[in-house]
């Protein structure tokens, strides 16, 4: 920064010479505002600072929020407005995906990775990939089950794609909308230090769905036990990412409401995984077997049987919620202690 130093030195020289020339003159030295952030001795960056960041939402995040406000200044009917939502580089997208796969207690996904630059690229294309992954893996597992059977006629079930797309995109957009509305309402009653914008919530939900893509691919394996293990692992990882993201936003509130919010978030996530698994399992291998007998015996029995098995598996998973609440509770104690 030699040029900048030269300028400053010259300014100083000017004031002294002008003071010599005219002692009564008042001199005002105005520092270049661009320099101040560089010369300000920042606090040592590291783990501690990120936790303070998360707890207090201090200057750094205020400044970035101001910058974000400046960034999105185009009116919403121009193309540039929407380009600001796609202002991410390849390595940033990879970092965010990595962050959604490795939830570490105490690290907030939004503060750590999104930092007031929420993007729509990740959520949109992760949902699209997930839709096709579920449809294709369902097709493949069906095919593998019936490999070698001469009487089996393979059909590519195309309707699955539209159903899966509707469910997943509705989940990825409507649930964040409801959650954002709820948080805004609670924010008006209880002053929360940490608050998220709608796009940041959409971003978290979108990236948290990434773990389901490899899970859907591994669902090709026809063993039921393997599938349940896989879906539990996926639910654990993405549920904990969501819980740890939203816990700082609600913990200022009434204890019961905070817990209820987190449990609802995890429960909805669980319903999504159960829904996908049921669609996969019921309407593919086991279901096709049931269907072939049903076509002989009659229509209503098949519906009752499929509904019954759906209900049974939902109840089984609800029992796992109690296990999950305990897990969430331990995360809760972990995230409280560093702050105190």
Partner 1 sequence: MAEAVESPGDPETTTSRPLMRDLKAVGKKFMHVLYPRKSNTLLRDWDLWGPLILCVTLALMLQRGSVDSEKDGGPQFAEVFVIVWFGAVTITLNSKLLGGNISFFQSLCVLGYCILPLTMAMLVCRLVLLAEPGPINFMVRLFVVIIMFAWSIVASTAFLADSQPPNRKALAVYPVFLFYFVISWMILTFTPQ
Q: Does 289 bind partner 1 (CB under 8 A)?
A: no
- At its nearest, how many Å lie between partner 1 and the CB of residue 151? 13
For residues 318 and 90, give the distance between their C-alpha atoms in angstroms, rounded to a whole number.
38
Token duo for residue 308: 């019954």
93-216-275-278 Cα dihedral, nearest 10 degrees: 180
Residue 95 contacts partner 1 per CB under 8 A:
no
Nearer to partner 1, 160 or 269 (CB): 160
Candidate residues 19, 22, 48, 82; the one interacting with partner 1 per rule CB under 8 A: 82
Count of residues near partner 1 by CB under 8 A:
24
Residue 93 touching partner 1 (CB under 8 A): yes
Among 89, 223, 300, 319, binds partner 1 (CB under 8 A): 89
CA Rg value for the chain:
27
85 interacts with partner 1 by CB under 8 A = yes
The stretch among 61-69, 155-163, 211-219, 304-312 that binds partner 1 (CB under 8 A) is 155-163
Residue 40 as a binder of partner 1 (CB under 8 A): the answer is: no
Q: Is 76 in the site for partner 1 (CB under 8 A)?
A: no
Give the integer Cα–Cα distance in Å for 95 and 333.
27
Binding mask 157-196 for partner 1 (x = CB under 8 A): xxx-------------------------------------
Show Cβ contacts of residue 92 under 8 Å, excluding neighbours closer than 6 positions: 113, 117, 119
Nearer residue to partner 1 within complex by CB, 132 or 182: 132
Other Cβ atoms within 10 Å of 227 Cβ, number = 19
Q: Nearest-CA neighbor of 309 among 271, 270, 282, 290?
A: 282
**Cα angle for residues 159, 165, 166 (degrees, 5° grid):** 95
State the nearest-atom distance from the C-beta of 287 to partner 1, in Å: 11
Token digits of residue 259? 């817990």
Which residue of 17, 31, 72, 125 would you call a contact of partner 1, by CB under 8 A?
Answer: 125
Q: Classify residue 270 by burial, with Cβ atoms within 10 Å: 0-12, 13-18, 19+.
A: buried
- The secondary structure of the chain in percent helix, strand, coil, rounded to multiples of 5, reads 75, 0, 25
Q: Does 271 bind partner 1 (CB under 8 A)?
A: no
Q: How far is the CB of 122 from partner 1 (least distance, A)?
A: 10
Binding-site ranges for partner 1 (CB under 8 A): 79, 82-83, 85-86, 88-91, 93, 121, 125, 128-129, 132, 136, 139, 153-159
């Amino acid at each position: 920064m030699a040029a900048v130093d030269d300028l400053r030195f010259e300014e100083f020289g000017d004031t002294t010479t002008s003071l010599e020339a005219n002692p009564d003159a008042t001199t005002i030295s105005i520092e270049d505002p661009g320099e101040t952030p560089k010369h300000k001795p920042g606090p040592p960056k590291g783990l501690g600072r990120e936790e303070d960041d998360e707890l207090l939402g201090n200057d750094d995040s205020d400044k970035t929020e101001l910058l974000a406000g400046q960034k999105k200044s185009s009116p919403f009917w121009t193309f540039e407005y929407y380009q600001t939502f796609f202002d991410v580089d390849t390595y940033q997208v990879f970092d965010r995906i990595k962050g959604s796969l490795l939830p570490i207690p105490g690290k907030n996904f939004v503060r750590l990775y999104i930092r007031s630059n929420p993007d729509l690229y990740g959520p949109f294309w992760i949902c699209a990939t997930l839709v096709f992954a579920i449809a294709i893996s369902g097709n493949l597992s069906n095919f593998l089950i019936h490999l070698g059977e001469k009487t089996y006629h393979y059909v590519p079930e195309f309707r699955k794609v539209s159903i899966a797309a509707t469910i997943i995109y509705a989940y990825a957009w409507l649930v964040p909308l409801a959650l954002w509305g709820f948080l805004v309402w609670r924010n008006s009653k209880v002053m929360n230090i940490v608050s998220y914008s709608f796009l940041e919530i959409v971003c978290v939900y979108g990236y948290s769905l990434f773990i389901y893509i490899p899970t859907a691919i591994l669902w090709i394996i026809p063993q039921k036990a393997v599938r349940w293990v896989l879906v539990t692992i996926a639910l654990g990882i993405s549920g904990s990412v969501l819980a740890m993201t939203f816990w700082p936003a609600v913990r200022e509130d009434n204890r019961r409401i905070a817990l209820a919010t987190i449990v609802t978030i995890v429960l909805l996530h669980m319903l999504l995984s159960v829904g996908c698994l049921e669609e996969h399992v019921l309407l593919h291998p086991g279901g096709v077997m049931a269907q072939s007998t049903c076509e002989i015996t009659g229509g209503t029995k098949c519906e009752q049987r499929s509904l019954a098995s759906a209900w049974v598996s939902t109840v089984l998973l609800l029992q796992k919620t109690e296990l999950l609440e305990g897990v969430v509770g331990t995360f809760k104690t972990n995230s409280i202690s560093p702050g105190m």
